Amino acid sequence: MADITKRSEDYSRWYQDVIREAELADNSPVRGCMVIRPNGYAIWENIQATLDKRFKELGHVNAYFPLLIPKSFLAKEAEHVDGFAKECAIVTHHRLKQVTRDGKVDLIPDPDSKLEEEYIIRPTSETVIWDMYRKWIQSYRDLPILINQWANVMRWEMRTRMFLRTTEFLWQEGHTAHATEKEGRDETLQMLETYRWFAEDILAMPVITGTKTANERFAGAVETFSIEAMMQDNKALQAATSHDLGQNFAKAFDVKYQPAEGKVDYVWATSWGMSTRIVGSLIMVHSDDDGLVLPPKIAGTKAVIVPIWKSDEEKAAVCEAAQKLAAELRPVIGPVHIDDRDNLRPGWKYSEWERKGVPLRLELGPRDLAGESVMLKARHDRAKNIVPFADVVAGVQAELDRIQQDLYDRAKQRMVENTHVIDSWDQFTDLFENKDGGFAMAHWCGDGTCEQTVQDKTKATIRNIPFERDETKGECVHCGNESIGRVVFAQGY
């Protein structure tokens, strides 16, 4: 095991060290892409399982659409293509040709295999999905359509960082069609609330919900809503978005329906998504200088049992007891691992599991067997607790619940302490240039040019216009014109 850089010394390097030591992901041979290792993928699987269950409870179904999108589809929605044009990877040929150059074998695109129409590797799926909705929707009886897709997408990135920004990433993207404007807006807000619930109740990550500005709006949307979280370096991260697309895509792809009464009209649309970027935020919100820290509700392994012995006789006894404890715990709390490796000392095992972020450790030695109890040790605060065998299931569950709540409370306190009411440009620049940054609740005039100027000067963006905010009129923190109320500024990922 290598040393983990302290957060206070180099936050970016600390983040990479945590990923490496927890064996979450590794760099791939393809620049800007990552290999998600089993420990990291277990987290993503839990994210999938939890969200997928909630989506289906709300009436959504899963489908799958092609990875390749005809280039002409992107051009049908002008704002959409403008938003993604610089990030698209293009397939131009369907076959390679072997050639020899200077005695070396090489492969080049076969000129005879050039595609009549080039394909875009999907940066998002609105266009191909709405082409299909045109075929599927004829009347009001076909609505609503509530489809979600679990898939990979590609957006060409110049500066990448594992989980946070990679050329290829995993996500879910919901795409729905509705008969009325109100139904579309209700769906958009319902899914935003779903993401808020997931971030706060499952990931123990407090967020601010609100509306994106026009500058930050999804390409082609009427309105974009987001949840914004604060990392431990006080920077913001957009954890998920939900978009009210109005009738823009329906008009671009001619998706109409016949109401029960009245003339034919275009349908109303939404899209919403969360990606593997959320794993990066999970790391940065909770982890410490010793490695990964995970909330129990999302951890791939909820607890690890470490048997302790000196002799073969003791080993047999404690390992047998460990198996019995695990058998009792697994049906209630989920995955429990027994670390009975005999080539490592207990202290080494403790350190390894702490770095991997397992929320709870159970230490079981001959003295524990004699006392018919087990020692519990929480990962996040190292609190110890002795629990009798007879109460082990209830005791472990109670400790996991405490850990989950503690992690949320810690993150919430950090957000509160680093959220500042800012009333002057001097205060604003001082916060982001001379101090530790954070969330600045400041007045803004509502003008996009002013917003861009603030970003150019300070690298702070408007994360969103919070639903819960001070709407009292004031003077814009930058230009001094009348404001629309306070919004949240922050530097972000």
Read off φ and ψ for residue 250, nearest 5 degrees: -60, -40
Q: What is the pLDDT of residue 246?
A: 97
Q: Is 292 part of any domain?
A: no
Q: Tell whether 81 and 194 lie within a shared domain.
A: yes
Q: Is 107 part of any domain?
A: no
CATH number of the domain enclosing 440: 3.30.110.30
Number of C-alpha atoms within 13 angstroms, CB side, residue 190? 17
Assess whether pLDDT exceeds 80 at residue 54. yes
118: nearest Cα among 67, 168, 69: 69
Q: Tell whether 435 and 390 lie within a shared domain.
A: no
Name residue 109's beta-bridge partners: 96
- Concatenating the DSSP letter of every residue in 421-457 gives EE-SHHHHHHHHHTS---EEEEE--S-HHHHHHHHHH
Q: Is 106 part of any domain?
A: no
Mean pLDDT of 43-60: 98
- The number of folded domains in the chain is 3
Does the predicted TM-score (pTM) go above 0.75? Answer: yes
Q: Tell whether 277 and 323 lie within a shared domain.
A: no
Distance CA 392, CA 302 (A): 14
* pLDDT 10s digits, 273-323: 999 999 999 999 999 999 999 999 999 999 999 999 999 999 999 999 999
**Is 52 in a helix, a strand, or coil?**
helix
DSSP-derived secondary structure letter, 142: G
Distance CA 234, CA 327 (A): 42
Q: Tell whether 254 and 321 lie within a shared domain.
A: no
Assess whether pLDDT exceeds 90 at residue 471. no
* pLDDT 10s digits, 131-148: 999 999 999 999 999 999
Q: Tell whether 216 and 313 lie within a shared domain.
A: no
Q: Tell whether 197 and 274 lie within a shared domain.
A: yes
Assess whether pLDDT exceeds 80 at residue 485. yes
Distance CA 37, CA 25 (A): 5
User: Do 150 and 268 meet the contact criterion of CB atoms below 8 Å apart?
Assistant: no
Q: Final residue of a domain: which of 286, 313, 329?
A: 286
Q: Tell whether 32 and 166 lie within a shared domain.
A: yes
Q: What is the pLDDT of residue 78?
A: 63
Q: Tell whether 407 and 424 lie within a shared domain.
A: no
Q: Final residue of a domain: which of 414, 443, 467?
A: 414
Mean pLDDT of 261-272: 94
Q: Tell whether 178 and 243 lie within a shared domain.
A: yes
Q: Is 3 part of any domain?
A: no
CATH number of the domain enclosing 221: 3.30.930.10
Q: Tell whether 365 and 463 lie within a shared domain.
A: no
Residue with tokens 């604060």: 230
User: Do 481 and 475 meet the contact criterion of CB atoms below 8 Å apart?
Assistant: yes
Distance CA 66, CA 111 (A): 25
375: nearest Cα among 389, 355, 354, 394: 389
Name residue 207's beta-bridge partners: 229
Q: Is 98 part of any domain?
A: no
Q: Final residue of a domain: which of 350, 382, 414?
A: 414
User: Do 462 and 489 meet the contact criterion of CB atoms below 8 Å apart?
Assistant: yes
**Chain-wide mean pLDDT for the chain?**
96
* pLDDT 10s digits, 422-451: 999 999 999 999 999 999 999 999 999 999
Q: Is 291 part of any domain?
A: no
Q: Tell whether 356 and 394 lie within a shared domain.
A: yes
Q: Tell whether 143 and 46 lie within a shared domain.
A: yes
What element of type H or E holds 257? strand 256-257
Contacts of 439 (CB under 8 A, 6+ apart): 208, 230, 234, 236, 415, 418, 419, 420, 463, 488, 489, 490
Q: What is the pLDDT of residue 376?
A: 98
User: Do 218 and 41 meet the contact criterion of CB atoms below 8 Å apart?
Assistant: no
- Concatenating the DSSP letter of every residue in 207-219 gives EEEEEPPGGGS-T
Q: Where does 282-416 show beta strands of DSSP type E? A: 303-307, 336-338, 360-364, 373-378, 384-388
Angle separating helix axes 392-417 and 312-333, nearest 10 degrees: 70
pLDDT band at 80 (very low <50, low <70, confident <90, very high): low
Q: What is the pLDDT of residue 95?
A: 96
Q: Is 297 part of any domain?
A: no
Q: What is the pLDDT of residue 62?
A: 98
**Domain interval for residue 333:** 303-414
Let me know how long the chain is: 493
pLDDT band at 225 (very low <50, low <70, confident <90, very high): very high
Q: Is 223 part of any domain?
A: yes
Mean pLDDT check: name the lowest of 71-75, 247-251, 391-395: 71-75
**In the chain, % of residues over pLDDT 70:** 99
Q: What is the pLDDT of residue 81?
A: 66
Q: What is the pLDDT of residue 486?
A: 96
Q: What is the pLDDT of residue 84?
A: 77
CATH number of the domain enclosing 353: 3.40.50.800
